[in-house]
C-alpha cells in the first residue's frame, strides 16, 4: 500500500498586508479630513468677511492661502487691510502680512506672526499711527465669543503717532509684551500683565525730566470686563462703571535712571466719569521729578514718614525712599499731603 506524504500547510499572506492597507486607508482618510477642514476654514473666512462687510466693516485679504498639511491649518494673508467703524469711530488699518496656525487636534489655540508695518489712521481728524517691529508673535486661546488667554510679544517695537494739531509722539522699546487671561469668573475678571524694556520716548523724558531708557511694567486685574460692550467708547466705559468695574493694580513699576517708582492700588470711574481711587506709591530718586512740578520734596518726606508709620513700614533712614498715597478724588489728583496738584477731567 502506497504511503502518501502530508502536504505542508499553506498560510494566507493576506495578514501581512492588513497593516499596510490600514495605514493607507488612514492616510487617505486623514487627507480627506484635512482637505475638508481646510476648505471649511477658507469658506468660513470668506463668510465672515462678507458678514463684516454687511455691517460696514470692510476686511480685505488679497493674497489668502490655506495650507499646513498634514497636522495643521495655516492661513497666510499678504497686505490685509480694514476700514470701517471701530467703537463708533471710522478707522482704517493695514498690515504688511499675517500668518496664523492652528493644530487640527487643538483648534482652540491659534498662534501667529505679523509683518510690519501696521498703519492705523482716523480719517475724521487726520491722526495716524505707524507701528513697526522686528518680530511680532501672537497667541490666542478660546472660543469665538470667549477669550481664555491671549499674548502679544514684539522685539524692536517702534511707534510714531501724528496728531491733527501737529504734535507727534515717538517711542520705541527693545521688547514689549502683553498677556491677558481669564481670572475670577464670579467677578467676570481678566488678569493682565504688560512690560516694555529699554523704552525710549521724548514725552516720558519731558514728564520725568530724565533722559534715559526706561523699564515699565504693570500687572493686575480688570473686574466686570464682560460689561465693556457698546457701540462707542463712552458707552463701553459707562457700562463698565455702572457694573462696578474696577482696575486693581497688583504692581506698576517705572525705572528710569535713578528713578524707581512702584505703585499698587485700585482705580474706578466716579459718577462724573473721572478716575477715582488710590495708589500706594513707593519711590526713590523722585526729588528731581517733584521739583520739576514745583513740589517741595520735604513735604513728601513728612507725608511719607507719617504714612509709613501708619502702615507699619517706615522708609529706611537715608535711603531717599518715599512712601506716599497717590489719590484720585473728586476730580483732583493728590500726592501725599499735597492735594489738588492737578485737575482730573472726565474721561468721556
- What is the H or E stretch that residue 324 is in? strand 321-329
Q: How far is CA 96 from CA 76, 81, 133, 289, in A?
A: 11, 9, 11, 41
Residue 27 and residue 34: Cα distance in Å, rounded?
10
Helix, strand, coil distribution of the chain in percent, nearest 5: 25, 50, 25
List Cβ neighbours of 141 (8 Å cut-off, separation of 6 or more). 108, 109, 110, 147, 148, 149, 150
Higher pLDDT, 21 or 316: 21
Contact 88, 64 (CB under 8 A): no
Residue 318: pLDDT above 60?
Answer: no
Which residue is associated with the grid cell 481670572?
Answer: 183
Task: Provide the strand spans (E) within 211-320.
Answer: 214-223, 246-256, 259-269, 275-284
Residues pairing with 282 in the sheet: 262, 323
| Nearest residue to 274 via CA among 333, 346, 330 | 346
- 163 by Cβ neighbours in 10 Å (0-12 / 13-18 / 19+) ranks as middle
**CA 47 to the chain's CA centroid:** 27
Query: Would you place residue 150 in the very low, low, confident or very high pLDDT band (cuts 50, 70, 90)?
Result: very high
Residue 301 and residue 318: Cα distance in Å, rounded?
11
pLDDT digits (tens, 9 = 90+) for 189-217: 999 999 999 999 999 999 898 999 999 99
Q: How far is CA 38 from CA 34, 43, 69, in A?
A: 6, 9, 9
Residue 44: pLDDT above 80?
Answer: no
Contact 304, 294 (CB under 8 A): no
pLDDT digits (tens, 9 = 90+) for 81-96: 999 988 888 999 999 9
Query: Would you place residue 10 in the very low, low, confident or very high pLDDT band (cuts 50, 70, 90)?
Result: low
Contact 274, 268 (CB under 8 A): no
Higher pLDDT, 114 or 54: 114
**CA 182 to the chain's CA centroid:** 13
pLDDT digits (tens, 9 = 90+) for 231-258: 789 999 999 999 999 999 999 999 999 9
Contact 115, 96 (CB under 8 A): yes
Cis peptide before 186 (omega within 30 of 0): no
Backbone angles phi, psi at 42, to 5 degrees: -60, -40
Contact 174, 158 (CB under 8 A): no
| Cell numbers describing residue 126 | 487726520
Positive or negative torsion for Cα 43, 45, 46, 47: positive
List Cβ neighbours of 154 (8 Å cut-off, separation of 6 or more). 133, 134, 135, 136, 137, 175, 176, 177
- Arithmetic mean of pLDDT over the chain: 86
| Nearest residue to 194 via CA among 170, 174, 172, 220 | 220
pLDDT digits (tens, 9 = 90+) for 257-305: 999 999 999 999 999 999 999 999 999 988 778 777 777 766 655 544 4
| Nearest residue to 136 via CA among 120, 110, 119, 116 | 116
Residue 220: pLDDT above 90?
Answer: yes
Amino acid at each position: 500500500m502506497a504511503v502518501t506524504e502530508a502536504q505542508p500547510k499553506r498560510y494566507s499572506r493576506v495578514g501581512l498586508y492588513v497593516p499596510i492597507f490600514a495605514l493607507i486607508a488612514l492616510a487617505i482618510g486623514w487627507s480627506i479630513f484635512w482637505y475638508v477642514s481646510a476648505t471649511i476654514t477658507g469658506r468660513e473666512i470668506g463668510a465672515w468677511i462678507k458678514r463684516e462687510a454687511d455691517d460696514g466693516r470692510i476686511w480685505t485679504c488679497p493674497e489668502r492661502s490655506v495650507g499646513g498639511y498634514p497636522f495643521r491649518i495655516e492661513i497666510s494673508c499678504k497686505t490685509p487691510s480694514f476700514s470701517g467703524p471701530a467703537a463708533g469711530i471710522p478707522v482704517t488699518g493695514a498690515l504688511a502680512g499675517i500668518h496664523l496656525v492652528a493644530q487640527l487636534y487643538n483648534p482652540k489655540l491659534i498662534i501667529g506672526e505679523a509683518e510690519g508695518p501696521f498703519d492705523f489712521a482716523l480719517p475724521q481728524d487726520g491722526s495716524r499711527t505707524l507701528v513697526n517691529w522686528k518680530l511680532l508673535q501672537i497667541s490666542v486661546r478660546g472660543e469665538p465669543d470667549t477669550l481664555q488667554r491671549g499674548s502679544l510679544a514684539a522685539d524692536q517695537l517702534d511707534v510714531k503717532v501724528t496728531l491733527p494739531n501737529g504734535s507727534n509722539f515717538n517711542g520705541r522699546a527693545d521688547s514689549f509684551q502683553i498677556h491677558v487671561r481669564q481670572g475670577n469668573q464670579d467677578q467676570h475678571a481678566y488678569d493682565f500683565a504688560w512690560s516694555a524694556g529699554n523704552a525710549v520716548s521724548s514725552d516720558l523724558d519731558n514728564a520725568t525730566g530724565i533722559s534715559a531708557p526706561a523699564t515699565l511694567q504693570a500687572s493686575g486685574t480688570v473686574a466686570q470686563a464682560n460689561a465693556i460692550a457698546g457701540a462707542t467708547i463712552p458707552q463701553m466705559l459707562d457700562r463698565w462703571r455702572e457694573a462696578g468695574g474696577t482696575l486693581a493694580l497688583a504692581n506698576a513699576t517705572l525705572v528710569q535712571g535713578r528713578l524707581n517708582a512702584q505703585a499698587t492700588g485700585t482705580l474706578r470711574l466716579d459718577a462724573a466719569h473721572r478716575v477715582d481711587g488710590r495708589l500706594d506709591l513707593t519711590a526713590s530718586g523722585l526729588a528731581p521729578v517733584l521739583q520739576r512740578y514745583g513740589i517741595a520734596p520735604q513735604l513728601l518726606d513728612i507725608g511719607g514718614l507719617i504714612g509709613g508709620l501708619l502702615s507699619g513700614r517706615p522708609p529706611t533712614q537715608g535711603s531717599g525712599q518715599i512712601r506716599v498715597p497717590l489719590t484720585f478724588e473728586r476730580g483732583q489728583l493728590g500726592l501725599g499731603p499735597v492735594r489738588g496738584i492737578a485737575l482730573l477731567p472726565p474721561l468721556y
